[in-house]
Amino acid sequence: MIRSDDAARAGRELRSRYTPADLSVFTPEEAGRFAPDGRGDPRTNPVLAWELVYRLEPELYDRLVTAELLHPGIVDWLPRMTDRIVEVGAGTGRLTMKLVNRAREVVAVEPAMPLRAILQRKLDEASCGDLVRVVHGFFDELPLPDDYAELVVACSAFTPDPAHGGNAGLAEMERVCMPAGCVAIIWPNNLDWLADNGYRYVRFSGPMSVEFASHEEAVELSQVFYPRAVDEIRRRGLRRVPFDIIGFNPPRDLAFKTLPR
């Protein structure tokens, strides 16, 4: 059955998919961070629109990140075997699923309940539900003790904006990281800010594309998430879409800090 909300949104790009009325989906904790005083308009604030897609259309979001693969160099760079790893803003597990078997325990912190549900389902389907603990939390309020993990990582989630990390979030990630452990920000969006905070930078080279399951899916998802690329994707009949057509930097880099002993 097609629900009326789904029908109204069909084919619409992210910035015109939701209205201020949709902000009612936020819990009070989420609203306090993402839409203080109940204010904000997802039609003019793309960051807010992303927060709504996580909660209103999580399966659509998961289809996007399933196609938008990380550079394999990133996962190779991360420690191979540790006692504990914490991932913050784990989403539906684009990175989390690669961290399984790299630690005795992985804790995946994710505020959006619908994304946690998809991640838990994937873990259960892969029979690794007991290796990963999926928990609710935010960058600035991690539900974990000091010095908990050797690696504390965020992938496509941390920004200098206090709602999505900021100074308080960075301090929390470092609090939870053990002495001599590593805090890593994958696909960072503000290198100067991270460098000012003592983070070093690594970038992996080579061509990168978004690997959709079919040309039809490339068109459907690009209409929502990469609207400026749709005409070119149609014209070339693409299933695999190079990032230069999409028009933003691919997930091929990270910033990291090794904490003092």
Ligand X SMILES: C[S@@+](CC[C@H](N)C(=O)[O-])C[C@H]1O[C@@H](n2cnc3c(N)ncnc32)[C@H](O)[C@@H]1O
For ligand X, the binding residues (CB under 6 A) are 33, 54, 65, 88-91, 94-95, 110-112, 115, 138-139, 155-157, 163-164
Q: Which is nearer to ligand X, 167 or 236 (CB)?
A: 167
Q: Which is nearer to ligand X, 179 or 247 (CB)?
A: 247
Shortest distance in whole angstroms from residue 33 CB to ligand X? 6
Q: Which is nearer to ligand X, 174 or 232 (CB)?
A: 174
Q: Which is nearer to ligand X, 4 or 24 (CB)?
A: 24
Residue 136 DSSP label: -
Shortest distance in whole angstroms from residue 138 CB to ligand X? 4
Shortest distance in whole angstroms from residue 158 CB to ligand X? 8
Shortest distance in whole angstroms from residue 256 CB to ligand X? 16
Determine the Cα–Cα distance for residues 65 and 107; give it in Å rounded to an integer: 20
Q: Which is nearer to ligand X, 156 or 223 (CB)?
A: 156
Shortest distance in whole angstroms from residue 11 CB to ligand X? 22
CB 158 within 8 A of CB 190: no
Q: Which is nearer to ligand X, 49 or 260 (CB)?
A: 49
Closest listed residue to residue 86, CA positions, set 132, 151, 138, 140: 151
- In sequence order, what E strands does the chain have? 82-88, 103-109, 132-135, 149-155, 177-186, 200-203, 209-211, 240-242, 253-258
Closest listed residue to residue 233, CA positions, set 250, 251, 216, 208: 216
- CA pseudo-torsion sign 80, 82, 87, 91: positive
Sheet containing strand 149-155, edge to edge, reads: 132-135, 103-109, 82-88, 149-155, 177-186, 253-258, 200-203
The closest residue (CB) to ligand X is: 91
Q: How far is CA 64 from CA 79, 127, 235, in A?
A: 27, 24, 21
Shortest distance in whole angstroms from residue 179 CB to ligand X? 24
